[in-house]
Chain A
Amino acid sequence: MEVIKLLGYEYKVLSFISAHENVDFNEVVKGLGINEDSIRWAIEDLKTKKAITSEEGTKVTYILTEEGKSYLSKFPEEQLVEYVNSSKPLEVKELPENLRIGFIWAKKNGWINIYNGILTLTDNGKRVLEDGFSYPLNKALNLANNGSYEVDEEQVKILISRKLVERKERPYIKNLAITDLGKSLLANEKEEEKIGSLSRDLIAHRGWEGKSFEPYSIAAEVAPSYPALRHPMNEFINYIRYKMASLGFKETVGSIIQPAFWVFDSLFSPQDHPTRDMQDTFFLSSPDAIEIDDEELINRVKKMHLNNWKGKWDINNAKQAVLRTHTTAVSAHSMYNYRNMDFTTPLKLFTIDKAFRNESVDYKHLAEMYQLDGIVIGKSLSMANLIWILKEFFSSLGLEIRIQPSYFPFTEPSFEIHHFDKEHNDWIEMGGAGVIRNDITEALGLKDATVLAWGLGLDRMMLSRAKLNSLSDLYKNNIGWLRTRNKIEF
């Protein structure tokens, strides 16, 4: 004959049922303090082994709807009575929107009267107030919410008809009883000693040998873990930084706060250019001006402007403090800083940082955005060399590019960089490039050197990679997104 063995929690469950006559499922769960699923399995198995019997019943529960939950403290008709009582003679049409719903029920309950469109409380209504609201519907709703079985059937019918609660019937196991077979099984079998937590002691003394481990319910739900993560934009910026560094570029940095000189004047932008307007550029009131300490540099830049743009050039406009509108300002500084170098070996520099525009922020516009600016300074470099560098860089990002003529005051020739976007099946502009004007390189003090430059906005590139719809969502820093987001493929 096959030996029937009790497994897992079966011994515990069977002992409990043996000790408590005709218990139901919930009592077993409470009594043993083991999770419901494990007990359900144990009971099913014990039934199969004919160790216990049980009956199937159904249990009625009431679930509150959203509207029902909002009535837990007061029903609208109760609020209405309070409102009518506290206000002066009240016309029906003056009733606030949120109380209208209560009107019908207050009337039905005989709490209010209407005469010539004026609302008054009836004696019944006043009594309701004095009784401190012992409104049967309210009581029933609260009982239903607490899962009590003593809810007045009549009141529940009304609650259901008002769509405040829903009735649910659930199957449930009751009248669990042990069979003779069960009793003998229990008598024959002692609960096997199982290991719960593995301890230092058990490990050191090989105490686990000859025993088994209490099994866990693998399918049981666990509380979520939240990883601490870097901000995805910084991950992306670092990714681009490493690409640039591995192409042999050195990173440079500079302040976001600059005299207009480094943002505009040194880069050939005329002083009456529309982008130098408060409408487009953030000018500062504190500090309002920043000194430029190289007189000779100022004079060279001034001469560059007067020779080319004619008109006037005012040093005070160049000193105005602004938030840089492009990171090319950092490149301008770099050209100046490295002006005395020998460029027989080309110098390759890049910067990735914030630039600012006076924009109204919305889902596709930001007032501050990340830009990459790269330059190569060398002897007799050409536009064909720049195209080569760009192809190297963009192919390292897996992007195919095409170029198109464009206009920037500081480069000649100038062009836009477009990449093929598979999502839109079209070429999309992603940055600008060009050979820096000789006037600029000379004014900045570079002798006999050509400067290739390109710039790229990073926020929009990030948007499609992070599968976000709005640029500003990137910087809301909702921890929900930050710590549950997926890895982003750049």
Chain B
Amino acid sequence: MATVTFYNKDIEKFMSLDVFKSQIPELGMSVEDSNDTSIVVDITPNRPELLYFNNLIREILLHLGILKPRSYDSEIKNLDGDLYVSPEFRSLRPYGIAFAAKNIDLSGNSLEYLVNFTEKLTDTYGRKRKKVALGMHNLDKVEFPLFYNLSEDKEFTPLKYGVSIKFSDFIKEKDNEGYSSIFGNKDGRYPILKDNSKILSLVPVINSDETSVSAFTRNLLIDINGSDETAVKNTARIIASSLIDIGASIYPVRVHMTQNKSSFISIDLKSRRASLHFKDFNSRIGLAEKSEKCLDLISRSGYLVKSSNSTSATILIPPYRTDIFGKIDIIEDMAIAYGYNNINAKEISGIYGYGNLDKLTELKNSLAELSIGLGYTEALNFYLTSRQIEFEYMLHDDPGSVSLLSSKTSTFSIIRTKLLPNLMMNLKTSADQPMPQKLFEVGNVYTVKGNKVEENLNIAFVSEGAKVNFNNLKADLEALCNYLKVHLELKESKDPAFIEGRTADIYIDGIKKGIIGEINPEVLLNFGLLEPVSALELTIQKLDY
């Protein structure tokens, strides 16, 4: 979740707060908080460009039809300089580009919005700078050409740090987010961006103070680097179009790959074209809108219409849209412009037919009904449990459990292999309640055999109280087997969780399926229980989906 704070006084330059607040959900986002000075909006993750104030305002004005879509291509100007990317740098960080943006006004809250935007953008879309990192510099302090390369551990003055410090020391002291470990260094040489004479940034950790940006900066240099070429390009297009909307012109640089002597121009803002048949829109959404209405929806979604006729249109996808994979995504935007709650429900023809529950559900329900008839109340436990409850308390060995790689809840480390341990915990929870206590559970249990999961449907009963014994449970088990029309046989057996001489394996139709007995007092104490407990658990069915 990415939230952004917008100031009321800035919003009110464009629209009333009420309009703003009512438009946010219409666009698929939510107002998280609002007070006298600001509004916090949760920005939808597929629209990273809306993390920027101006872009969100642009989106709303487009949606309301107040603003018309524009082209950005014309604001790309001539080349401004060269960027050399060394092979060493590329071995750590494959892609790096830069461009200049001139004639910007960063006064008021503009700089704060822009800085927050670049930070949130590289945090979300850039996956905490792993996929994409970005730096903003004062262009007027930069001397071309630029170099992305590796450098010895040197001293420089990091942004807002005040004094000069070595890369390695700065990382130790200030890199709490661990940005320096994303792609590390190579033999003690650090990835940097420098110009003709000085270091501009320790990539992707921090910029240099010397070229820092202030509210008075008019011209910017943006450098973008990352692990994924598409993501780097998309980030450049998002930033450049955002800056153009606040008055900038964009000046690309020529990027030189120093290993193969190839070069390319760092950025373009050409719009991708798409052709759209209105019937595709109408059939997906369930409408019958004519071309005029469709063209209005296209325009209010921010797409420029290049040409159109009565059945289709050729449209331009703005350069900041990174989430448009195909026509269907454009159709969704048109539906949003239409207003979801304006779409009338339409009955599906041929929809009627009989439904049913799955056989497994029906089996579980009939087992539950029988158990309730026998006086057992149903428990419903978590699948996730701990080795302590599952094995230690029950004096059992781990038969091969499905294990979690990591868990935020410390008591969860495996998936249950049996139902009984949880039921014993339930008796512990219920210790202050009147006896006797009878609980059952019907549910799935899991083990791993040779890296393959075995899943079974089990049923378990526990019965606690001074007068409860093996024979009560045996009688209930016989009733269960009679109901299920299966042949029951008990064979005396041993199990550490049960009292010796009062334990038996349950054989159903000649196959060993479970265990019945009186719980070992050692186990009772493990669960803090002070009354005798008799219990049984058996497998009803092996599950294979």
Which residues of A are at the interface with B, using a C-beta cutoff of 8 A?
A: 224, 226-231, 233-234, 238, 241-242, 244-257, 272, 274, 278-279, 282-290, 308, 310-311, 323, 333, 344-346, 348, 354, 356, 358-361, 367-368, 376, 378, 380-385, 387-389, 391, 402-407, 412-415, 435, 437-439, 474-480, 482-483
A381 CA / B331 CA spacing, docked (Å): 15
9-residue interface stretch from B185-193, B292-300, B343-351, B491-499: B343-351
Binary per-residue interface labels of chain B (445-458) against chain A in the complex, 1 for a CB within 8 Å, 0 otherwise:
01010011101000
Please name all residues of chain A whose beta carbon is closer than 8 Å to the beta carbon of B434 when the two chains form the complex.
224, 226
Judging by beta carbons under 8 Å apart, are B372 and A356 in contact?
Answer: no
The answer to whether A358 touches B407 (Cβ under 8 A) is: yes
Chain-A contact segment, one of B25-33, B100-108, B195-203, B513-521: B25-33
- Given A284-B404, A368-B384, A384-B286: A404 and B25 within 8 A (CB)? yes
> What does the 1/0 interface line of B323-362 toward A look like (CB < 8 Å)?
0011011011001100011011111101111111110110
Report whether B405 and A284 are in contact in the complex, using a CB–CB cutoff of 8 Å: yes
Complex Cα–Cα for A288 and B453 (A): 11
Any A CB within 8 A of the CB of B365: yes
User: Which chain A residues lie closer than 8 Å to B455 at the CB level?
Assistant: 255, 257
CB distance from B332 to the nearest CB of A (A): 4
A230-B372 in contact given A253-B360, A404-B340 (Cβ < 8 Å): yes
Q: Are B406 and A278 in contact (CB under 8 A)?
A: yes
In this complex, what residue of A is CB-closest to B127?
A272
Asked, given contacts A358-B407, A381-B348, A384-B287, whether A477 binds B358 with beta carbons under 8 Å apart, the answer is: no
Restricting to B412-456, which residues have a CB under 8 Å from any CB of A? 412, 415, 426-427, 429-430, 432-434, 437-439, 444, 446, 448, 451-453, 455
Q: A284-B404, A438-B328, A479-B433 known; A407 and B46 CB under 8 Å?
A: yes
A residues less than 8 Å from B409 (CB atoms): 359-361, 367
CB atoms of A241 and B361 under 8 A apart: yes
By a CB distance below 8 angstroms, the chain A residues around B124 are 274
Q: Are B453 and A287 in contact (CB under 8 A)?
A: yes
Indicate if the CB atoms of B406 and A230 lie closer than 8 Å. no
Q: CB of B131 within 8 A of chain A?
A: yes
Additional A-B contact list (5), CB under 8 Å, known A241-B361, A405-B28, A413-B336: A241-B357, A285-B405, A310-B230, A368-B383, A475-B382
Chain B residues at the A interface, C-beta cutoff of 8 Å: 25-28, 44-47, 124, 127, 130-131, 228-231, 283-287, 325-326, 328-329, 331-332, 335-336, 340-341, 343-348, 350-358, 360-361, 365, 368, 371-384, 400-409, 412, 415, 426-427, 429-430, 432-434, 437-439, 444, 446, 448, 451-453, 455, 543, 545
Q: Would you call B355 and A249 a contact (CB within 8 A)?
A: yes
Q: Is the CB of A477 within 8 A of B345?
A: no
29 residue pairs of the A-B complex, CB under 8 angstroms, read A224-B434, A228-B438, A248-B351, A251-B358, A251-B361, A254-B545, A255-B545, A257-B446, A272-B131, A278-B405, A279-B408, A287-B448, A288-B451, A348-B353, A361-B409, A367-B409, A367-B412, A382-B346, A383-B284, A385-B347, A388-B345, A405-B336, A406-B28, A412-B328, A412-B331, A438-B326, A477-B439, A479-B433, A483-B377
Which residue among B378, B406, B433, B455 has the maximum number of chain A CB atoms within 10 Å of its CB?
B378
Which residues in A have their C-beta under 8 angstroms from that of B444?
256
Q: How far is the CA of A404 from the CA of B342 in the complex (A)?
A: 11
Residue of B nearest to A246 (CB): B355
Cβ A285 vs Cβ B27 within 8 A: no
CB distance from B268 to the nearest CB of A (A): 17
Min distance, Cβ B480 to any Cβ of chain A, angstroms: 14
Number of A-B pairs whose CB atoms are under 8 Å? 258
Task: Identify which of A255, A412, A476 contacts B332 (C-beta below 8 A).
Answer: A412
**B479 CB to nearest chain A CB (Å):** 14
- Which of A310, A359, A413, A414 makes the CB contact (< 8 A) with B285? A413
Which single residue of chain A is at the shortest CB-CB distance from B346? A384
Q: Are A289 and B332 in contact (CB under 8 A)?
A: no
A478 touches B429 (CB 8 A): yes
B373 / chain A contacts, CB cutoff of 8 Å: 228
Are B381 and A383 interface neighbours, CB within 8 A?
no
Partner of A274, one of B127, B427, B439: B127
Chain A residue numbers with a CB within 8 Å of B27 are 405
Instruction: Name the B residues within 8 Å of A308 (CB-CB).
Output: 325-326
| Cβ-defined partner of B354 (8 Å) among A248, A388, A415 | A248
Bound together, the chains give a CA A267 to CA B181 distance in angstroms of 31
Q: How far is the CB of B530 from chain A (nearest CB, A)?
A: 16
Q: Is the CB of B408 within 8 A of A359?
A: yes
Q: Are A346 and B348 in contact (CB under 8 A)?
A: yes
- A475 to B441 CA separation, bound complex (whole angstroms): 12
Inter-subunit contact B381/A477 (CB<8 Å): yes
Closest B-chain residue to A382, C-beta based? B286
Given contacts A283-B406, A310-B230, contact A229 B355 (CB under 8 A): no
A111 to B388, CA, bound (A): 49
With A403-B341, A480-B430, A482-B379 as contacts: A248 and B453 at CB distance below 8 Å: no
Contact for A407 among B44, B283, B356, B407, CB less than 8 A: B44
CA separation between A424 and B438, bound complex, in Å? 38
A479 touches B377 (CB 8 A): yes
